[in-house]
Amino acid sequence: MSLKSRIKMKENRKDWTKEEVLELYNKPLLELVFEAAKVHRENHDPQEVQVSTLLSIKTGGCPEDCGYCPQAARYHTDIAKNDLMSVQTVKAQALRAKSSGSSRVCMGAAWRNVKEGEDFDQVLEMVRTVRDLDMEVCCTLGMLTEDQARRLSDAGLYAYNHNLDTSEEHYKKVISTRGYEDRIETIGNARKAGLTVCSGGIIGMGETAIDRAAMLVTLSCLKPYPESVPINALVAVEGTPMEEQEQIPIWDMIRMVATTRIVLPKTTVRLSAGRTQMTDEGQALCFMSGAGSIFAGDKLLTTPNPDINKDMELFSTLGLVPQKAYKKGDKPEVNENYKNSCSNGGKVKWSRPGHEIEANISATQSAKEKRKLEVK
């Protein structure tokens, strides 16, 4: 099925510059919120919010050095490494999520990149199984090739998540084990397979407002730009290089949501990690500013998240209702070719920039010392 028939979103493009986005971001807050609210109502039903469930199907043990992530094997956090979930366990959790109001399940695996083999075959069966429950299925599995994206699409995947995280410039201060260009290439591979794209970032990692603006410009230049953009507030986890980062003010989150809404008018802005640190009033302003989705459940992969009952109470107070599945795109057809790999068996050469990030090295060394003490 063609991308055109899969996606109902129409482009409303403006060639934004970093300076224009920064000027927008720095507008007086209430003026910014008002403008964003108008754009939101012109392009979306302001009473509907998509409820998604993020499920960690394989936790911990990741070889990457992302400075914010407690799943990196090199850091000492309280995240236990778990094997890949079974298809039946995923189905049971998806049914539970659906009964609580979720219309989308996003399955995340702590992998650097997708590798051919039994684990990937199992993920493909998970995708088909959840799709057959009439739920949108999203995956975030790390970097993937064009053929792997094709197999996911054939299995019934609706969206692929691969965040840019931050600006290309600041990215080099956060991650050294993969390049920014790998993220762009992975998004391109998802597009070639006809998948919708979910890609956003994290604020509160020590970046500047200019970095936030630059990330939005990069997203706006993708053709087409992502159908959904998660905006995460950093959740500082003990043992990671960013454990001492201060919590960002709620006003920063509101500004980022509102700016994203104006720059990317047709996209679904996802209010993602960090909601446990927000008041109901803060979240309400985010919804008013254009947030059209939340992640439900007690955890977002490994970080805390508000209870679904509390979310539903807030929805009731604000007059919001959960969005039904496939409201903004057609349900994918399944092609049995998902069971067949067209790969020639060769290894993909993803980049390894190899530059040193002092905070990441320090956290890695600290983890080694703590593990030695635990052995004693």
pLDDT for 11 beyond 50? no
Q: How far apart are the C-alpha atoms of 146 and 152, rounded to whole Å?
A: 10
Q: For residue 188, what pLDDT is reported?
A: 96
Q: What is the pLDDT of residues 76-108, one digit of tens each?
A: 888 888 899 999 999 999 999 999 889 999 999
Residue 305 pLDDT grade (very low, low, confident, very high; cuts 50, 70, 90):
low
Query: So what's the architecture of 8-331+338-375 in CATH?
Result: Alpha-Beta Barrel (3.20)
Q: For residue 148, what pLDDT is reported?
A: 95
pLDDT for 170 beyond 60? yes
Q: How far apart are the C-alpha atoms of 74 and 78, rounded to whole Å?
A: 12
Encoding tokens for residue 52?
């998604």
**Which residue numbers are catalytic?**
62, 66, 69, 106, 138, 198, 270
With beta carbons less than 8 A apart as the criterion, state whether 162 and 222 touch: no
Compute the mean pLDDT over every residue in the chain, rounded to the nearest whole number: 90
- Residue closest to 204 by CA, chosen among 160, 161, 162, 240: 240
Query: Average pLDDT, stretch 330-335?
Result: 94
Query: Average pLDDT, stretch 264-272?
Result: 95
Q: What is the pLDDT of residues 32-88, one digit of tens each?
A: 999 999 999 999 999 999 999 999 999 988 999 999 999 998 888 888 888 999 999
Q: What is the pLDDT of residues 229-239, one digit of tens each?
A: 999 999 999 99
pLDDT for 244 beyond 80? yes
Q: For residue 86, what pLDDT is reported?
A: 95
- Residue closest to 102 by CA, chosen among 312, 287, 266, 304: 312
**ω into 224 cis (within 30 of 0):** yes
With beta carbons less than 8 A apart as the criterion, state whether 140 and 106 touch: yes
Query: Average pLDDT, stretch 342-352?
Result: 71
pLDDT for 299 beyond 80? no
Q: What is the pLDDT of residues 126-147, one digit of tens each?
A: 999 999 999 999 999 999 999 9
